[in-house]
């Protein structure tokens, strides 16, 4: 076994980057910030920052999410996405980032954090390519993960409010998957998936037309049967 030599290994910094996805006006959107400092000053990027010495990765991601959106821990679905460590991904030094995926219901316009000059919700198909660092790749990986998650898990309701109609849920799937779905087929599948939806006992007319049943997220974490994109 080789002897560890501290002098042979330069310092390495660790950051967290966030792929924060929501659905706004029927489109899948991502939170982006305009960098106020070098490198890439003036260029848009995913929000994120350096991990503090006394933080674990999840705590750092939760802190960054709160700074950018005001969401407290537990108010949004947040999970580790992937790690990125190409030697030249950050021109300042060797930086390894652990990206996290956050799925949130529609929020007000975001506020920029301390190292950014602006923040906005941007349609996913309008921001890439062009993000700073390797964030185009990180965003693409996050969208792939989100699309797959909607097939096998109940996380689509993370994009909805506390109570929602099947039509509102269908529009989430259409926005994330990027294609229209048959309303009747979709209604049959989501209401037939065990534990996916729970009726609230209330009706709403906010979709227009006849009153529609309101639902909340059920107790199931996984969907059975799954809602496969190839079958919808």
What pLDDT does 2 receive? 62
What pLDDT does 177 receive? 97
Only one residue has tokens 């199931």, namely 220
Element (H, E) at 191: helix 183-192
What are the residue boundaries of the structural domains of the chain, listed by start? 6-151, 153-231
The partner residues of 35 in beta bridges, in order of sequence, read 116
Same fold, 6-151 and 153-231: no
What pLDDT does 7 receive? 72
Residues 124, 39: Cα–Cα separation, whole Å: 23
Specify whether domain 6-151 bears CATH 3.90.79.10: yes
Name the DSSP letter for residue 110. P
Contact between 105 and 160 under an 8 Å Cβ cutoff? The reply is: yes
Does the pLDDT at position 227 exceed 90? yes
Does the pLDDT at position 10 exceed 80? no
Does the pLDDT at position 84 exceed 70? yes
Specify whether domain 153-231 bears CATH 1.10.132.20: no
Name the DSSP letter for residue 160. S
pLDDT tens digits along 134-182:
999 999 999 999 999 999 999 999 999 999 999 999 999 999 999 999 9
Long-range contacts of 196-202 (CB under 8 A, 24+ apart): 196/154, 196/220, 196/223, 197/157, 197/166, 197/169, 200/163, 202/163
Q: List the helix and strand counts (H, then E) for the chain.
A: 5, 9
What pLDDT does 106 receive? 82
Contact between 42 and 35 under an 8 Å Cβ cutoff? The reply is: yes
Q: Which of 107, 98, 174, 91 is nearest to 142 (CA)?
A: 98
Considering Cα of 146, then 147, then 148, then 149, what sign does the dihedral take?
Answer: positive
Residues 139, 92: Cα–Cα separation, whole Å: 22
Does this model's pTM top 0.85? Answer: yes
Residues 183, 97: Cα–Cα separation, whole Å: 40
The mean per-residue pLDDT over the stretch 35-49 comes to 93
Name the DSSP letter for residue 153. B
Confidence of residue 41 (pLDDT cuts 50, 70, 90): very high
């Amino acid at each position: 076994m080789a002897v560890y030599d501290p002098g042979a290994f330069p310092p390495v910094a660790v950051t967290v980057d966030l792929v924060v996805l929501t659905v706004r006006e029927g489109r899948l959107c991502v939170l982006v910030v305009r960098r106020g400092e070098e490198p890439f000053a003036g260029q848009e990027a995913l929000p994120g920052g350096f991990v503090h010495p006394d933080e674990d990765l999840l705590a750092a991601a939760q802190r960054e999410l709160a700074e950018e959106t005001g969401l407290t821990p537990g108010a949004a679905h947040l999970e580790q996405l992937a790690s990125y460590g190409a030697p030249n991904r950050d021109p300042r030094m060797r930086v390894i980032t652990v990206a996290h995926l956050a799925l949130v219901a529609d929020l007000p316009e975001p506020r920029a954090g301390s190292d950014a000059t602006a923040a906005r919700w941007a349609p996913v198909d309008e921001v890439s390519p062009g993000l700073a660092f390797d964030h185009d790749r990180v965003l693409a990986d996050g969208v792939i993960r989100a699309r797959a998650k909607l097939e096998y898990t109940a996380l689509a309701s993370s994009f909805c409010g506390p109570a929602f109609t099947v039509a509102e849920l269908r529009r989430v799937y259409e926005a994330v998957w990027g294609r229209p779905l048959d309303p009747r087929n979709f209604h049959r599948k989501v209401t037939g998936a065990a534990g996916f939806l729970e009726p609230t006992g209330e009706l709403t007319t906010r979709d227009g037309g006849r009153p529609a049943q309101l639902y909340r997220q059920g107790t199931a974490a996984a969907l059975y049967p799954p809602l496969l994109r190839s079958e919808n």
